[in-house]
Amino acid sequence: MTTAAIDLARKAAAQHLQQQGYTAEAALVAQGQGDDFAEVRMALSLLKIMQPAPPPLPKRGGRRLFGEEC
């Protein structure tokens, strides 16, 4: 994941924790020190799920080129 996605997940998790009344934890997450919190991991997972699917691998002669050195 990119740093932008991680920052977005941290922001969402901090906002959620703040709304739940966990101000100290929200401050830790906002500073980037709480990446092991479940809220941050869930936000990252949701971002990953919402990303578009990767394009299919190219084929040559009906076979995938995955792992071939040309």
Summarised one tens digit per residue, pLDDT across range 3-41 is 888 899 999 999 999 999 999 999 999 999 988 999 999
Task: Provide the number of structural domains found in the chain.
Answer: 1
Higher pLDDT, 48 or 2: 48
pLDDT at 51: 85
- The whole-number pLDDT of residue 65 equals 67
Question: Of the spans 15-19, 31-35, 47-51, 55-59, which averages the highest pLDDT?
Answer: 15-19
66 domain-assigned: no
Using CA atoms of 12, 55, 67, 47 in order, give the dihedral in degrees to the nearest 10.
Answer: 10
**67 falls within a domain:** no
The closest of 19, 21, 42, 39 to 29, measured between CA atoms, is 39
Q: Which residue has the higher pLDDT, 46 or 55?
A: 46
Q: Domain span at residue 14?
A: 3-51
Task: Identify which of 30, 24, 66 has the alpha carbon closest to the alpha carbon of residue 13.
Answer: 30
Specify if 27 maps to a domain. Answer: yes
